[in-house]
């Protein structure tokens, strides 16, 4: 079961105790991977029994982080250690092969062996490391029971739904009792109607996991539900880190703000529902504290409201505005139109 972090500490002692605990049981990583057209440089710390959610747009370096931790990509510089064991130290040319790292990886497409049954898939890693057939099967059955798939033990992967395949891949990783669990977009391949339930199921499994877990996702809801801590990557660098509440409440970049459903313009944070969109510039005596001129970049119908994205001039920031369908019908706006957006002072927070 997941271990408690114990009572809160204050002052310098807290930092010292946390660093000591991380060195003994958690992940400490300085990951530098340099390629011809891209450079990743990020530091990560994850305590045992905790889950870090890694967010970022496509190409930010999220999957490269996972591959480096799993030993599938070697560091250009830096060092990775977990529970006091060095996995990769570029300066000392020390490198532990993937099969010796006790790291469980759940890839986005699950990569189940199509010719093996479900129970054989789960038992595969145990058999590959020398565990006897009967023992491996018994442990695999136990994990299938934990993820609710005992009845599918003798099925082939082609007979499984997406949600079932995800649970098999999770069981296959956890049966090896890894010190670190890596999940790459674990819910991305699932239908919307089952994502909510499987998100809750996965959160429960992560709460019971004693090792370090890292979940890569581009979905803010997945990150907020699954992660104890969030790290946001942009262009190979960490632009923000903190608890879900800290990141959601005080976004530091425009990307993070939009990810959390907020606008961030010139240090001012405000929700899309607070934005007015007009063709004429607001009068100087109006209550609006801030206004910008821009061009409508996109319009999207969202149930009972319309989401309008306006690219401001001259800085080119995207601002989201949510208006009612009735408002849109009364004053139609189309993509490419020049408009003014305005926000009242009471609806603005300072970043």
What six digits make up the tokens of 112? 């189940």
Q: Indicate the number of domains in the chain.
A: 2
What confidence tens digit (pLDDT) does each residue in 64-113 have? Answer: 999 999 999 999 999 999 998 999 999 999 999 998 999 999 998 899 99
Q: Domain end: 237, 256, 275, which one?
A: 256
**Longest CA pairwise span in the chain (Å):** 80
Q: Are residues 81 and 205 in the same domain?
A: yes
- Match 């891949």 to its residue by tokens: 169
Question: Nearest 5°: phi and psi at 96?
Answer: -95, 125
54 SS3 class: strand
Q: Give the span between the Cα atoms of 2 and 49, in whole angstroms.
A: 5
Confirm whether 337 is domain-assigned. Answer: yes
* Residue 193 in domain: yes
Residue appearing with tokens 């996972």: 66
Mean pLDDT of the chain: 89
305 in the same domain as 230: no
272 and 346 co-located in one domain: yes
* Domain finish residue from 200, 229, 256: 256
For residues 11-26, average pLDDT: 61
- 242-260 pLDDT, tens per residue? 999 999 989 999 899 988 9
Q: Which domain holds residue 95?
A: 17-112+160-256
Q: What is the pLDDT of residues 140-171, one digit of tens each?
A: 999 999 999 999 999 999 999 988 999 999 99
Give 9's pLDDT tier (boundaries 50, 70, 90).
very low
Torsion sign across C-alpha atoms 85, 146, 216, 317? negative
Query: Which pLDDT score, from 0 to 100, does residue 192 have?
Result: 74
What pLDDT does residue 15 have? 57
Band (2; pLDDT cuts 50, 70, 90): very low
Strand order in the sheet with 268-270: 263-265, 268-270, 349-350
Nearest C-alpha neighbor of 270 from the set 326, 322, 218, 338: 322
Both 74 and 26 in one domain: the answer is yes
Residue 301's CATH number: 2.40.50.100
Residue 119 lies in a domain: no
Do 98 and 199 lie in one domain? The reply is yes
- How far apart, in whole angstroms, are the C-alpha atoms of residue 284 and residue 239? 36
Tell me which of 213, 229, 256 is where a domain ends: 256
Residues 29, 73 within the same domain: yes
Residue 155 lies in a domain: no
- The H or E element spanning position 119 is helix 118-128
Same domain, 86 and 37: yes
> pTM of the entire structure?
0.83
Whether 199 maps to a domain, the answer reads: yes
State mean pLDDT over 287-314: 87
CATH number of the domain encompassing residue 49: 3.40.50.300
Q: Look at residue 236 and tell me if it is in a domain.
A: yes
More confident position, 79 or 19: 79
pLDDT tens for each residue of 104-130: 999 988 999 999 999 999 999 999 989
**Residues 55 and 36 reside in one and the same domain:** yes
Q: What is the pLDDT of residues 48-62, one digit of tens each?
A: 999 999 999 999 999
If asked whether residues 184 and 290 sit together in one domain, one would say no
pLDDT confidence tier of residue 21, bands split at 50, 70 and 90: low
Question: Does 284 lie in the same domain as 172?
Answer: no
pLDDT band at 176 (very low <50, low <70, confident <90, very high): very high
Residues 187 and 296 occupy one common structural domain = no
Q: Which two tokens stand for residue 276?
A: 């007015």
Which among 234, 318, 245 is positioned nearest to 275, based on CA atoms?
318
Residues 191 and 290 placed together within one structural domain of the fold: no
- Which position has the token pair 């946001």? 232
**Does 150 fall in a domain?**
no
> Is residue 127 in some structural domain?
no
Q: Are 48 and 83 a contacting pair, CB within 8 Å?
A: yes
């Amino acid at each position: 079961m997941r271990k408690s972090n114990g009572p809160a500490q204050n002052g310098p002692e807290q930092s010292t105790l946390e660093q000591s605990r991380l060195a003994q049981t958690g992940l400490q990583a300085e990951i530098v991977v340099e390629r011809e057209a891209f450079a990743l440089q990020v530091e990560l710390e994850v305590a045992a029994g905790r889950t870090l959610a890694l967010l970022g747009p496509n190409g930010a370096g999220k999957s490269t982080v996972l591959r480096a931790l799993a030993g599938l990509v070697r560091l250009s510089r830096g060092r990775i250690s977990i529970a006091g064991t060095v996995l990769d130290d570029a300066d000392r040319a020390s490198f532990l092969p993937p099969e010796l790292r006790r790291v469980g990886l759940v890839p986005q497409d699950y990569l189940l062996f199509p010719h093996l049954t479900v129970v054989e898939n789960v038992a595969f890693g145990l058999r590959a490391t020398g565990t006897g057939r009967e023992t491996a099967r018994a442990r695999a059955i136990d994990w299938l029971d934990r993820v609710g798939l005992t009845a599918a033990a003798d099925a082939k992967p082609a007979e499984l739904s997406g949600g079932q395949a995800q649970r098999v891949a999770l069981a296959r990783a956890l049966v090896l009792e890894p010190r670190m669990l890596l999940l790459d977009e674990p819910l991305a391949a699932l239908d919307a109607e089952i994502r909510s339930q499987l998100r809750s199921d996965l959160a429960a499994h992560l709460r019971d996991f004693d090792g370090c877990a890292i979940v890569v996702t581009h979905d803010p809801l997945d990150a907020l539900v699954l992660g104890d801590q969030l790290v946001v990557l942009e262009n190979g660098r960490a632009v923000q880190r903190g608890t879900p509440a800290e990141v959601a409440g005080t976004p530091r970049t425009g990307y993070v703000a939009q990810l959390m459903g907020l606008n961030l313009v010139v240090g001012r944070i405000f929700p899309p529902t607070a934005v007015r969109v007009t063709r004429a510039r607001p009068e100087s005596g109006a209550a609006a504290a801030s206004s910008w001129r821009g061009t409508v970049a996109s319009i999207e119908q969202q149930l009972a409201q319309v989401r309008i994205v306006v690219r401001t001039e001259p800085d080119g920031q995207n601002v989201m505005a949510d208006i009612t369908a009735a408002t849109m019908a009364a004053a139609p706006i189309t993509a490419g139109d020049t408009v003014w957006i305005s926000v009242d002072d009471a609806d603005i927070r300072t970043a």
